[in-house]
């Protein structure tokens, strides 16, 4: 079983996620990395062989050398479904008028949100929901997904089974999000209202 897990996530999530993992392996050492810089410092040098890397709601892109340095598959917990890879995904789902949304766990690969998918949890988007409300709903679902996978991640060496589900080709970026926040004087009132609900 893994002796150490590196948890790439924010300060607010770290302690809670560590407690979830340690319920299933009392001997487990959990190391918190807030961003890519801290992650590289933790993974520099030798001794990564018995570590597992987990990323939870992090915007940091993990370099291939780090992914290759750990023995066990690294997993990312993405706050969106396979149909919405990338960043600010709740906003784009609201703008598209999507009926369903969800969260995804997947093996990390060189390209963002492209690795084999190991778990998905779908839910319906309530009518009229704002992007900020959907982000909260997705975060809660992602914590539940983490809890479901934690027994395996904390105490089992084997990779999680891959699902026969692929990612959408379009990966949204922060640049895409910023562009959608721009309001043009020629836009209709309904378009402006939709963009405000989806992008703030």
Instruction: Encode pLDDT of 83-99 as tens digits.
Output: 999 999 999 999 999 99
What is the number of structural domains in the chain? 1
Q: What dihedral do alpha carbons 167, 176, 121, 143 form, nearest 10°?
A: 130
SS3 42: helix
Instruction: Encode pLDDT of 99-133 as tens digits.
Output: 999 999 999 998 999 999 999 999 999 999 999 99
- pLDDT tier for residue 79 given thresholds of 50, 70 and 90: very high
- What crossing angle do the helices spanning 189-199 and 89-96 adopt, rounded to 10°? 150
Q: What is the mean pLDDT of residues 170-174?
A: 96
| Beta strand segments in the chain, E | 4-8, 29-33, 51-56, 75-78, 100-107, 117-124
166: domain CATH number is 3.40.50.12230
Q: What is the mean pLDDT of residues 43-65?
A: 86
**Structural domain span for residue 25:** 4-199
């Amino acid at each position: 079983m893994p002796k150490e897990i590196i948890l790439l996530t924010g300060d607010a999530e770290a302690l809670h996620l560590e407690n979830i993992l340690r319920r299933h392996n009392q001997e487990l050492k959990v190391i918190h990395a807030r961003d890519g810089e801290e992650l590289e410092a933790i993974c520099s040098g030798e001794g990564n062989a018995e570590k597992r890397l987990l990323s939870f709601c992090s915007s940091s892109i993990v370099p291939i050398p780090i992914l290759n340095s750990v023995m066990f598959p690294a997993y990312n917990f993405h706050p969106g479904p396979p149909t919405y890879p990338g960043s600010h995904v709740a906003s784009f789902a609201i703008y598209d008028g999507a009926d369903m949304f969800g969260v995804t766990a997947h093996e990390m690969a060189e390209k963002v949100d492209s690795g084999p998918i190991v778990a998905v949890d779908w839910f319906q988007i309530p009518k009229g929901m704002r992007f900020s409300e959907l982000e909260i709903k997705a975060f809660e679902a992602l914590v539940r997904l983490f809890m479901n996978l934690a027994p395996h991640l904390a105490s089992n060496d084997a990779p999680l089974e891959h699902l026969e589900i692929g990612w959408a080709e379009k990966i949204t970026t922060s640049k895409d999000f910023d562009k959608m926040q721009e309001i043009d004087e020629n836009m209709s009132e309904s378009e402006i209202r939709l963009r405000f609900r989806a992008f703030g």
